[in-house]
Structure 1
């Protein structure tokens, strides 16, 4: 890259994907500045390869300060929760922060933006893998998180068309791997399964990709992506039962065999959410929206990114292995 020594701002660097993107950029010779909230966890920042600045992506003044001198922006930060006592808070957070960040980047004269969206903005199908042409409308998205990503992505697209925003959009599928500190919902499945706490499962599927391949895809989008275009950064389509069997194999446990019907699980999900509201917990393992989403196999095609960006992803079994190794080191897997 001819401008590899330029200053790049990355939001969300304390998180799973953001920390991977920041490290990938530093490895390519970029001068990295990471935006982090004062309340963000610091586990992924101990060896951060650059400068850290405190700020909030929803605050225009702190965004203006963070963007000072930066010619490139990766907006990776997002409110990634599949459940909240007030679901609309997730929508407000992701829409408002995306608008604030993009307007600040325009005002600062940033020359190139990579916006991290999600395959959550695509309509799932029962007929095989979905590609970028299957864009969802807000009322077609299942749950607040997916709806939040749809409205935020549409905002970025409008700003590209109407205001000349120099943004490329990437849509990661289901990243797994090291530094999943929260962990993400999928990371939590890996932890629970590795600890022998998932004896049964529903018939569903997902697209698994190593987080470092997603990060590499971000850099490819910066270098080769077309402004205003969307690129799925995925890996391999995997049935949930096969994923759990692979986790069991790698940790030396028996694979779960019991496949559960969804119907009886809805009252349990409702009760789980009600308990979280009552106790103030924010992380129910089983939610109504997750059950609704599980009706679809979340399978996706990265053919466009492969053809236009030169993107590729490693086998999903290795990504599972890297995730398990990191969770073990972090003390989450016994």
Structure 2
């Protein structure tokens, strides 16, 4: 294909988003270069087996990024989430990583930078540091002399099947209200959208695109999970006592209540633009089927959030 001699560097390719982007780019005929800490690791080796070039690099090592970005057409930028328990990344680390990637991409002559942010980003602070840091990175990217696109994914469908959500006990507990819709997106579709953005730079240059594939209330989620699994699933919002006890979780729930985290993407327009977008039903019957089966076998504690 025409893009086969042009390379897109993908950060986080051994993770969910980056892995989906790498796969989608390869499917569209792009050459893909993944920056990985350990090229000999199992996930990096799997990327290599799929035709992805892997190079050693680290977000904390600018020289390794300069080498990785050499002669690249594009860079997909996603950083470890400072709000994720156990990530070992502070909010300032994430800001430094995100801005350093953008600055090096500009200095190395990269033609197109795609940054993956969050649905909660925007000009008004949320008061939740690990979300607001993404707004700060967005602002920095927009102020650089480089063609860029920001995508803001809704909550991942995959989160709903993680241990700790209660599916192994026949229930789902999450932040959305039983009778109010919240938007979700399949990780696979984040990759396909990113590939489409790289494929049409003139169309997406300078744009910020909020992306989602479906919108469902808690009760609708339970109904679809019941139908897909063939076993009864009930829904309840996370208990008030938990939200009061866990400050970060409580503040996140408040952002759902005020609409900041529910998502406001125009789903009809997105489906017209990206016909491949998966509804929750289609995700459960496809990429999510194995995750759903695993969820019923995997007891867990705690709440896993994006």
| TM-score normalized by the length of structure 1 | 0.74
Aligned residue for 1:151?
136
Aligned residue for 1:310?
273
1:226 to 171, 193, 204: 204
Aligned residue for 2:72?
70
Q: How far apart are the structure 2 equivalents of 1:186 and 1:45?
A: 28
Deviation at 1:18, TM superposition (A): 0.8
Aligned residue for 1:136?
123
1:237 to 204, 215, 221: 215
Structure 1: 5+ residue stretches without partners: 122-134, 178-184, 274-286
Bigger drift between 215-224 and 25-34 goes to 215-224
| TM-score normalized by the length of structure 2 | 0.80
Deviation at 1:319, TM superposition (A): 1.4
SS of the residue aligned with 1:195?
Answer: helix
- Residues 209, 328 of structure 1: alpha-carbon distance in 2 compared, 3 angstrom cutoff: closer
Aligned residue for 1:97?
97
Alignment: residue pair count: 287
- Residues 215, 31 of structure 1: alpha-carbon distance in 2 compared, 3 angstrom cutoff: same
SS of the residue aligned with 1:214?
Answer: helix
Contact residue 80 and residue 94 of structure 2 kept, 8 A: yes
Structure 1 residue 30 corresponds to structure 2 residue 3: no
Aligned residue for 2:300?
none
Structure 1 residue 326 corresponds to structure 2 residue 290: yes
Structure 1 residue 192 corresponds to structure 2 residue 165: yes
Deviation at 1:116, TM superposition (A): 1.5
Contact residue 9 and residue 73 of structure 1 kept, 8 A: yes
Alignment of 1:219-298 (within 5 A): 219-224=195-200, 225-256=203-234, 258=236, 262=240, 264-269=241-246, 287-297=249-259, 298=262
- Residues 193, 318 of structure 1: alpha-carbon distance in 2 compared, 3 angstrom cutoff: farther
Deviation at 1:41, TM superposition (A): 7.7
Aligned residue for 1:277?
none
Aligned residue for 2:154?
173
* 1:123-151 Cα deviation digits (max 9, x unpaired): xxxxxxxxxxxx333xx224222111111
- Residues 141, 197 of structure 1: alpha-carbon distance in 2 compared, 3 angstrom cutoff: farther
Q: How far apart are the structure 1 equivalents of 2:2 and 2:85?
A: 44
SS of the residue aligned with 1:17?
Answer: helix
Alignment of 1:91-130 (within 5 A): 91-121=91-121
2:191 to 182, 202, 215: 215
SS of the residue aligned with 1:170?
Answer: strand
SS of the residue aligned with 1:192?
Answer: coil
Alignment of 1:13-24 (within 5 A): 13-24=13-24
* 1:289-313 Cα deviation digits (max 9, x unpaired): 3332332450322469749x93232
Q: How far apart are the structure 1 equivalents of 2:238 and 2:151?
A: 34
SS of the residue aligned with 1:318?
Answer: helix
- Residues 39, 219 of structure 1: alpha-carbon distance in 2 compared, 3 angstrom cutoff: closer
Contact residue 176 and residue 320 of structure 1 kept, 8 A: no
- Residues 196, 209 of structure 1: alpha-carbon distance in 2 compared, 3 angstrom cutoff: same
Bigger drift between 253-262 and 97-106 goes to 253-262
Q: How far apart are the structure 2 equivalents of 1:156 and 1:304?
A: 28
Q: How far apart are the structure 1 equivalents of 2:17 and 2:28?
A: 17
Q: How far apart are the structure 1 equivalents of 2:60 and 2:280?
A: 35
Bigger drift between 194-203 and 60-69 goes to 194-203
Moved over 4 A (4+): 39-45, 83-87, 199-202, 257-261
SS of the residue aligned with 2:263?
Answer: coil
